[in-house]
A and B are shown apart, each in its own frame.
Chain A
């Protein structure tokens, strides 16, 4: 497998007034194309910060991030927005759907930034919704869906523009065990059947079992790499 994400000497420091907080400390990391990686660690360990940096939501204080051969650490804000639109799909703990829009319209959001026609956008959104098993709920608004269904819509939104990379921040953190299992299985299918490279931040070891690999962060440093696998986890 080729390397999709290459991180070198990555540091992130937050400054709040006089306080200086180093969240990530000289992290080196390679993530292969087609990998399904779980980032674990205690609260404040820097796992979400690392995910945000890989997803282009934030800029590092030091170091480089190369995704699919492109350095993103030095991109301007505007260029980074365009890059995210084309290459990254995001899934959040609290779904972050727009409450006034139907499931389909939520899924269509990333496609508004493309040149696709309205009919094409609708078609693509329906395909994505079908993939997550919610085509029959496409006209429903988020408030009319369960938590698990909302997260499926969020996943459909994340994959609708066929991104290079899927980043998920605690995607099951707000779900019951059954729904969490369904979401993780869905992510696993996207990885296995559709070749999506997925990075999941989670504090739940059971969730991490669905990933191909698990990395642990502590105080901003990678401390351990575990190899897990998952065919078995899917049925666990």
Chain B
């Protein structure tokens, strides 16, 4: 600690250069924090801890192709399947396009397959018995100020009604809460009765978007999935059955490999950062060669000089990283407040901070290594005489 003022003095020697370098580091770690949250938003479903005993069955050809409702009873009869439900993507928007959230038409028993969502039994009953009934997650209800008894109009983006209208109106009869705080991102869903949807929609009647099966023994899930897919083998609606987590991963990767994109962006950012800060450090040390020589003259060892330069590089990175991550946290919090759970971004939490600061130390060591070695190896006599 007694050398800290030397590190600080070195950083403040050229204030403008240090500030610009800090801004670069800050920008890199701001991106690091933000992109991790974006990544988490895309992969929220695949990280769910619940659902290990649920299988999702979709069309083998494409997720967007529907399946016949006749499969329902056949899947129920598959050995190892405890319960089956089904759902259809609706894709409605509330009042204006920016108010988009996942909305699905679901079977009456749908919620019983999701014990991780808690809802009063009276509300479950109301959902089963109300033709136009809808159930929403608590976060979504909070975001739009909905309460039980409200009529909620959604504008269809895919399914018009038989009368040609895209306006669907639902009665809010239930609000569910995630029982596990880790599943709070699942409180952004809107469910309504499939029967009402199927009767009123203009096309696609009698077809199902996907089936969800609860297996009696999760260890048997693979075998059960094979049995379900065997039901439609060699038909015009072959199916693909997989665990809910695998389905969520596949769903996200239909848009893009978010992990790869995030990794590529961060790779490019940090590569540039290493070049930039490496150049800054090299320049800073080159200018201070006589000063480092003086330190060695008065008795600082080679390793002390090495440590001082490395500490300078690490301090630069740590300060920039800390401010960047702090800003990322503020931005993510602001986005979460603005968009609610429509985009389930994770807050910039302890893990990201630890990863970020660890990365800062690593980058600091990389960019400081060569200048530090140069400082360590300098010959006092040559350095003092300007050679």
A interface residues with partner B (beta carbon < 8 Å): 52, 55, 57-58, 77-78, 81-82, 84-86, 90, 92, 96, 98-101, 105, 109-110, 112-113, 118, 157
Chain A neighbourhood of B298, CB < 8 A: 84-85, 90, 109-110, 113, 157
Q: Is B301 an interface residue (CB 8 A)?
A: yes
With A52-B381, A85-B299 already in contact, the answer to whether A100 and B13 are too (CB < 8 A) is yes
Within 8 A of A (CB), among B227-263: none
Chain B neighbourhood of A100, CB < 8 A: 9-10, 12-13
1/0 contact string of B288-323 vs chain A (CB within 8 Å): 001101111111111000000000000000000000
Indicate which residue in B290, B295, B302, B384 contacts A109 across the interface (CB closer than 8 Å).
B295
A190, B137: Cα distance in complex, Å: 83
B interface residues with partner A (beta carbon < 8 Å): 2-3, 5-6, 9-10, 12-13, 290-291, 293-302, 380-381, 384
A84, B293: Cα distance in complex, Å: 13
Known: A98-B291, A109-B298, A113-B298. 16 other contacts (CB 8 A): A55-B297, A58-B381, A81-B296, A81-B299, A85-B298, A92-B294, A96-B384, A98-B9, A99-B13, A100-B13, A101-B5, A101-B6, A101-B9, A110-B299, A112-B6, A157-B298
Please, could you name 5 A-B residue pairs with CB atoms under 8 Å apart, sorted by A?
Answer: A84-B297, A85-B299, A98-B6, A99-B13, A109-B298
Chain A neighbourhood of B301, CB < 8 A: 78, 81-82
Select from chain B the residue with minimum beta-carbon distance to A121: B2
Interface of A is mostly: helix
Q: Are A96 and B290 in contact (CB under 8 A)?
A: yes
Q: Are A57 and B381 in contact (CB under 8 A)?
A: yes
Q: In the complex, what's the smallest C-beta–C-beta distance from A154 to chain B, in angstroms? A: 10
A155, B301: Cα distance in complex, Å: 22
Indicate which residue in B2, B300, B302, B380 contacts A58 across the interface (CB closer than 8 Å).
B380
Chain B neighbourhood of A101, CB < 8 A: 5-6, 9
A96, B3: Cα distance in complex, Å: 19
Chain A neighbourhood of B291, CB < 8 A: 96, 98
Chain A neighbourhood of B300, CB < 8 A: 81, 85, 113
Chain B neighbourhood of A86, CB < 8 A: 299
Indicate which residue in A57, A78, A109, A112 contacts B380 across the interface (CB closer than 8 Å).
A57
Q: In the complex, what's the smallest C-beta–C-beta distance from A160 to chain B, in angstroms? A: 10
With A58-B380, A90-B297 already in contact, the answer to whether A112 and B10 are too (CB < 8 A) is no
Chain B neighbourhood of A85, CB < 8 A: 298-300
Q: Are B302 and A77 in contact (CB under 8 A)?
A: yes
Chain B neighbourhood of A109, CB < 8 A: 295, 298
Select from chain A the residue with minimum beta-carbon distance to B10: A100
Q: Are B2 and A112 in contact (CB under 8 A)?
A: yes
A81, B305: Cα distance in complex, Å: 12
Select from chain A the residue with minimum beta-carbon distance to B13: A100
A157, B5: Cα distance in complex, Å: 17
Q: In the complex, what's the smallest C-beta–C-beta distance from B169 to chain A, in angstroms? A: 70
With A92-B384, A99-B13 already in contact, the answer to whether A112 and B3 are too (CB < 8 A) is yes
Of B5, B294, B299, most buried by chain A (CB within 10 Å of CB) is B299
Indicate which residue in B2, B294, B381 contacts A96 across the interface (CB closer than 8 Å).
B294
Chain A neighbourhood of B381, CB < 8 A: 52, 57-58
Select from chain B the residue with minimum beta-carbon distance to A97: B294
Q: In the complex, what's the smallest C-beta–C-beta distance from A106 to chain B, in angstroms? A: 10
A7, B275: Cα distance in complex, Å: 49
Q: Are A118 and B2 in contact (CB under 8 A)?
A: yes
Chain A neighbourhood of B6, CB < 8 A: 98, 101, 112
A105, B301: Cα distance in complex, Å: 19
Chain B neighbourhood of A90, CB < 8 A: 297-298
Select from chain A the residue with minimum beta-carbon distance to B2: A112
Q: In the complex, what's the smallest C-beta–C-beta distance from B153 to chain A, in angstroms? A: 66
Select from chain B the residue with minimum beta-carbon distance to A84: B299
A109, B6: Cα distance in complex, Å: 9
Select from chain B the residue with minimum beta-carbon distance to A77: B302
Q: In the complex, what's the smallest C-beta–C-beta distance from A206 to chain B, in angstroms? A: 25
Q: In the complex, what's the smallest C-beta–C-beta distance from A189 to chain B, in angstroms? A: 22
Q: In the complex, what's the smallest C-beta–C-beta distance from A146 to chain B, in angstroms? A: 20
Select from chain B the residue with minimum beta-carbon distance to A14: B381
Chain B neighbourhood of A84, CB < 8 A: 297-299
Q: In the complex, what's the smallest C-beta–C-beta distance from A122 to chain B, in angstroms? A: 12
With A100-B9, A101-B9 already in contact, the answer to whether A78 and B302 are too (CB < 8 A) is yes
Q: In the complex, what's the smallest C-beta–C-beta distance from B263 to chain A, in angstroms? A: 40
Select from chain B the residue with minimum beta-carbon distance to A167: B297
Those 9 A-B pairs whose CB atoms lie nearest each other, nearest first? A85-B299, A100-B9, A96-B294, A110-B298, A81-B301, A57-B380, A84-B299, A58-B381, A113-B299
A110, B291: Cα distance in complex, Å: 13
A77, B305: Cα distance in complex, Å: 13
A77, B296: Cα distance in complex, Å: 10
A110, B6: Cα distance in complex, Å: 13
